[in-house]
Amino acid sequence: MLVLKICQACDRVLGELEVDDLTSERPDSIINLVGNVAYALCPDCLGQLEVEQDRRFN
């Protein structure tokens, strides 16, 4: 079964993903799977959310 992969932050369509790929050994940035939509972060949003190791936000 195919699921639609969408960026959770900017709603950009990232493509389709086979459900069997979700259980593979290769890690993926899937955050949430709802119905036939897999929410993940696109590389642009992931880069904007990365924080230096020395900084901590409480």
Q: What is the Rg, in whole angstroms, of the alpha carbon atoms belonging to the chain?
A: 13
**Whole-structure pTM over 0.85, yes or no?**
no
Rounded CA-CA distance 40/2 in Å is: 15
Is residue 40 within 8 Å of residue 30, measured between CB atoms? yes
Q: Match 């890690």 to its residue by tokens.
A: 27
pLDDT for the residue numbered 10: 93
pLDDT for the residue numbered 53: 57
* Residue numbers in the chain where pLDDT is lower than 50: none
